[in-house]
């Protein structure tokens, strides 16, 4: 089982419109998402990033969301319906040890979730297996007692062990999040 899973009811706070003031989904996602892409979001909560991502992939794209909590997914689907993007979102209830997706993806979003996964090394291996060439993984974790710098670095090391390399990461600052974008390592020549 996961170390700690965010309670489903906290999803309402995470989807609060006020959050957009300091984490604008379109601004954060626009460098990574384009029309026609297939995006996987693991642990999407109630869709704070999912719904903007669904708009960005357009009618020819898709956002696959997987979560271990059925109530989160139901709330996300309800919000997506209201936003008119349900046709672009595929929601799937999964077990804690599997991402439950075999379809190739262009981008994987891991917002505030790696610290909740029981086996991050397995998570990164599963993502690598479905990531298209040139695909990326965006990892964002909260700063502070929730995810300390050491834990964040340990998870990046597990990603490296799974065959990823850093594309960039935030400097060690007083920001409210730590982030890194990773991609599959290039073969050594």
pLDDT at 27: 87
pLDDT tens figures, 159-182: 999 999 887 665 444 456 677 787
Q: What is the CA radius of gyration of the chain?
A: 15
Q: Report pLDDT for 3.
A: 56
Say if residues 182 and 171 touch (Cβ distance below 8 Å). no
Quote the DSSP letter at residue 6. Answer: -
Question: pTM for the full model?
Answer: 0.85
Q: How far apart are the first and last CA of the chain?
A: 40
Beta carbons within 8 Å of 185's beta carbon, 6+ residues apart:
160, 163, 164, 165
pLDDT at 174: 46
Positions in the chain short of pLDDT 70: 1-22, 144-146, 168-177, 186-189
pLDDT for residue 140: 85
Answer for the pair 102, 127: CB distance below 8 angstroms, yes or no. no
* Residue corresponding to tokens 């996961």: 2
The reported pLDDT for the residue numbered 181 is: 80
Residues 57/90, Cβ–Cβ less than 8 Å = no
Buried b (16+ CB within 10 A) or exposed e, 14-35: bbeeeeeeeeebeebbeebbee
User: What pLDDT score does 20 carry?
Assistant: 61
Q: 128: which residues sit within 8 A by CB, 6+ positions away?
A: 162, 163, 164, 184
Token duo for residue 163: 């065959």
Supply the pLDDT for residue 18.
Answer: 66
């Amino acid at each position: 089982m996961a170390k700690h899973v965010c309670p489903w009811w906290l999803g309402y706070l995470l989807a609060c419109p006020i959050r957009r003031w300091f984490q604008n989904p379109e601004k954060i996602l626009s460098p990574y998402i384009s029309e026609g892409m297939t995006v996987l979001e693991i642990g999407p909560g109630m869709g704070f990033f999912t719904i903007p991502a669904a708009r960005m992939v357009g009618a020819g794209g898709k956002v696959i969301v997987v979560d271990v909590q059925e109530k989160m997914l139901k709330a996300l689907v309800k919000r997506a319906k209201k936003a008119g993007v349900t046709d672009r979102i595929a929601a799937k209830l999964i077990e804690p040890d599997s991402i439950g997706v075999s379809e190739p993806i262009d981008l994987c979003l891991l917002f505030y979730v790696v610290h909740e996964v029981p086996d991050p090394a397995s998570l990164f291996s599963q993502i690598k297996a479905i990531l298209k060439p040139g695909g990326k993984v965006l990892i964002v974790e909260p700063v502070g007692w929730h995810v300390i710098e050491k834990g964040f670095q340990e998870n990046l090391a597990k990603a490296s062990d799974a065959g990823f390399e850093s594309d960039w990461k935030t400097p060690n600052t007083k920001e409210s999040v730590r982030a890194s974008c990773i991609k599959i390592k290039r073969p050594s020549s």
